[in-house]
Amino acid sequence: MIRGAVRYLDRRAGAAPLLRKALRYVFPDHWSFLLGEIALYSFLVLVATGIFLTMFFEPDLSKTVYHGEYAPLDGVHVSKAYRSVVDLSFRVKAGLLMRQTHHWAADVFIVAIVLHVARVFFTGAFRKPRELVYYIGVVMLMLALLEGYLGYSLVDDLLSGMGLAIGYSVAMSIPFVGANLALLLWGGPFPGPPSFEPRMYVAHVLLLPIAIGTLLALHIALIVARHHTQFAGRTRNERRVSGLPMFPGYAPRSIALAFAVAAVLVLLGGLVQINPIWLWGPYEVAQGTNGAQPDWYLGWLIGGLRLMPGVDVTVGGYTLVPNPFWGGALFPLLVFGFLFAWPTVERRITGDDRHHNLLDRPRDNPWRTAVGCAFATWVAAVFFAGSADRVYASFGIPYAPQIWFWRAVALVGPVAVFFLVRRFLGEVKRDEAAASVSPGPASQL
Amino acid sequence: MKWLWSALALLLGRGRRPAAPAAVERPRIVPRQPPSPRGENWVLLLLVLATVAAGAFIAVYAIDRLPAQTQLLGLALGLAFAFLAAAAAVASRFVVPVEEVSEPYPEPEHPAERDEVLQIVEESGERMTRRRLLKVAAGGAGMTLGTALVAPVASLGPALHPDALRRTPWRRGVRLMNSSGRPLRLQDIEEKAFYTAFPEHASHDELGAPLVVVRVDASRLDLPDGRDPERWAPDGVVAYSKICTHAGCAVALYRAPLFEPTSASPALVCPCHYSTFDPATGGGVLFGPAGRPLPQLPLEVDGGDLRAGGGFSGPIGPSWWGVRRR
């Protein structure tokens, strides 16, 4: 049967040479290379559960009165969008499992991407000839953040409405074009006409998934074109790549990982509640919840908005740059600007324009590692500032001093971490050099 | 029964037939490795368990009105995936050949093909005599067409009319209603409490609609110049837009002093980014990221009912470039 299928494909598509190559494609082995695959498989779970959810979700903001399974909301005026999500959670069999799995998958998806970007950064995998793979990956991270934000904004519960109000304010805050841009996107002053919901919906279920899927394909195609990077080893150098072949060695491993990711996500979706929107209630402009916390991947943005002192740029009593611009627009611009600029910056500074197939261990390049750690410290300080209100509620530490603390950490932390890491790694390298009179595998080349 | 058994044996035995000896002994591609019956047993067991768990999922799904159905569904499906993952992991280690292969990395560059690409482009362009003019014309046409195709984006919203942002339903005489549609009365407004009000006969679902109304101790009242307390704080009752001037959330928290001598002064707080506004001083910012005060609404008292005495003191909602700061 297999013989027949291969013959059929070869005669129709000339596929045999490609198949022959694909089966023996070499995957160098290291646990950290699995992070990207975890993101990939989370994406598949997102698509699968998402398709199920679209069968029940109504992207409609017109109002209706809720009468359904969840008694505490009985008689409450809600949007049809919100009602459809409550109903698909309580009325549709396996609906809540699918919804919670979808939500967990989104959270895990972005964790995996962030860790994957960190791995690529600290090992220098972004260097020539793989800059394009890296840029595409960072674009996918941006799209994934937007996709996640739109996903929970669609539901029209109180938390999502507050998130949208903040997004609207950030759009409004952009100098010279903000008000016009926000009116264009929302179709009118916030919360906008009911037609705003279908805009988010088509972006969430069609435009962004297609964009992410296309970039994913391109990302993988470009990796295959240049082959995987690898750490130096006995049989691994700049000219030869070695590891498990795709078939039969690597395929069952990757399949195992795919199923493991699905297992974790489904178990979380079934056993660990996430985003119980019936507790938040429907969104109304006059309502707010205390201790409002978005999904984790927006924590750095809410932190940026909370950390920033109340500074507006004004000209003659008129606002030029409203405050949300700093934390909501400039901060992510700087973060992604850094990620996009880094390969070029590093090449300019080091003058290293060579072709790299071997990865650095983080200690091999103390300067890059120190810069990366400093950058991560900066973003983390802002991220943690975003949870100061939860810390206040849980531990009673007053809010304002916490904010001042994180402001200080965001300013001083990166500098301190930079010098500490560079110094520590310098010592590690010296010890290593002293310990081995013969050069280690990394320097054999 | 007998034929059933023999059919089963035939079916299961199919794969075990020794492969027909190849006419010519070809060199192996995948190395021969000894079988691992224990590994295969584990894979079999895990596959059976996965089948059982997947079957349990179908069963749980089919039974109506099961308590904790979501949890059981998640558990069954999750375990099915977990067993499959374990089966594949064991197979990858013990059932399929484990080998290390090595091959050269692809050529870093292809100068010959690169030159040919350039040559093709150059030779193709030789027929043109007025190249620059054509370039300018094509660029002009392309850019204009591009702009034309993008222009309909303007249909998405009133981008060129930001005045829409300044409109609110509040004007002189509009009555303040609570969320259940009853008029707010001056005498009912207590200190240390917090009231939300909406304009009578108007939608609650726009940023300009909701107000916060609180009563401030007369001795603390210190409104900005030009706001006559008679008109802006009758009997110490003040009304502000409930929408934070920072990021558009509802100012849904009221910090009322629990113990006057030590507590901080009363303040209106937004739960999104903790912008904190002083109701006694015309909504000035006490703490947090907000860049301008909460817009205040002048009030009139009409037979005990509260009515708006005019429009807000400033634009409501989040700021944009060009908005007045005060």
pLDDT score, position B155: 92
Six token digits for residue A385: 């500032």
Distance to chain A for B254, nearest Cα, Å:
11
| Cβ-based neighbours of B13, under 8 Å, separated by 6 or more | none
Is A292's pLDDT higher than 90? no
User: Average pLDDT in the A11-26 region?
Assistant: 95
- B contacts of A227 (beta carbons < 8 Å): 105-106
Residues in chain B: 326
> How far is Cα B178 from Cα B109, in angstroms, rounded to an integer?
73
CB contact under 8 A, B289 and A327: yes
The answer to whether the beta carbons of residues B315 and B324 sit under 8 Å apart is yes
Q: How far is CA A6 from CA A1, A20, A26, A242, A249, in A?
A: 9, 10, 21, 27, 20
pLDDT score, position A443: 45
Closest of B21, B227, B209 to residue A285, by C-alpha: B209
User: Average pLDDT in the A176-205 region?
Assistant: 94
Distance to chain A for B275, nearest Cα, Å:
8
Greater confidence (A433 vs A154) lies with A154
- Residue B170's region, left for phi above 0, alpha for psi from -120 to 50, else beta, is beta
Of B71, B253, B272, the CB nearest to A166: B272
- A contacts of B246 (beta carbons < 8 Å): 169, 305, 310, 323-324
The answer to whether the beta carbons of residues A122 and A133 sit under 8 Å apart is no
Helix (H, G, I), strand (E, B) or coil at A362: helix
Q: Give per-residue pLDDT as tens, A104-145.
A: 999 999 999 999 999 999 999 999 999 999 999 999 999 999
Per-residue pLDDT of chain B (326 residues; tens, 9 = 90+): 556 556 555 555 555 555 555 567 789 999 999 999 999 999 999 999 999 999 999 999 999 877 889 999 999 999 999 999 999 999 999 999 999 999 999 999 999 999 999 999 999 999 999 999 999 999 999 999 999 999 999 999 898 888 889 899 999 999 999 988 999 999 999 988 989 999 999 999 999 999 999 999 888 899 999 999 999 999 999 999 999 999 999 999 998 887 777 778 899 999 999 999 999 999 999 999 998 999 999 999 999 999 999 999 999 999 998 887 65
The answer to whether the beta carbons of residues A265 and A97 sit under 8 Å apart is no
Is A44's pLDDT higher than 80? yes
Least CA distance to B72: which residue of chain A?
A270
pLDDT score, position B147: 97
Is A158's pLDDT higher than 70? yes
User: Average pLDDT in the A9-32 region?
Assistant: 94
Of A93, A310, A355, the CB nearest to B108: A355
Q: Give per-residue pLDDT as tens, A303-317.
A: 999 999 988 898 888
Is A153's pLDDT higher than 90? yes
The answer to whether the beta carbons of residues B197 and B210 sit under 8 Å apart is yes
Mutate to test the interface with A, among B81, B165, B180 (most CBs of A within 10 A): B81
> How far is Cα B197 from Cα B176, in angstroms, rounded to an integer?
6
CB-based contact, B40 to chain A, within 8 Å: no
The answer to whether the beta carbons of residues A170 and A36 sit under 8 Å apart is no
Distance to chain B for A111, nearest Cα, Å:
20
Task: Find tokens 């802002």 and name the residue.
Answer: A382
The torsion angles phi and psi of A237, rounded to 5 degrees, stand at -145, -170
Continuous segment of H or E residues that includes residue B215: strand B211-215
The ipTM is 0.93
Distance to chain A for B156, nearest Cα, Å:
5
**Residues 147-166 (B) with a CB less than 8 A from some CB of A:** 153-154, 156-162, 164-165
pLDDT score, position B19: 53
pLDDT score, position B218: 85
CB contact under 8 A, B29 and A168: no
- A contacts of B103 (beta carbons < 8 Å): 24, 26, 240-242
pLDDT score, position A409: 96
DSSP string, B272-318: TT--EEEGGGTSEEEESS--SPPPEE-EEEETTEEEE-SS-SS--SS
Q: What is the mean pLDDT of chain A?
A: 94
User: Average pLDDT in the A175-199 region?
Assistant: 93
CB-based contact, B220 to chain A, within 8 Å: no
pLDDT score, position A118: 97
* The overall pTM is greater than 0.90: yes
Percentage of residues in chain A with pLDDT exceeding 90? 87
Distance to chain A for B109, nearest Cα, Å:
10
User: Average pLDDT in the A373-377 region?
Assistant: 97
CB-based contact, B110 to chain A, within 8 Å: no
Six token digits for residue A330: 């400039």
Q: How does residue A444 score in pLDDT terms, banded at 50, 70 and 90?
A: very low
For residue B224, give the amino acid letter: P
B255, burial (CB in 10 Å: exposed 0-12, middle 13-18, buried 19+): middle
CB contact under 8 A, A314 and B288: no
CB contact under 8 A, A26 and B102: yes
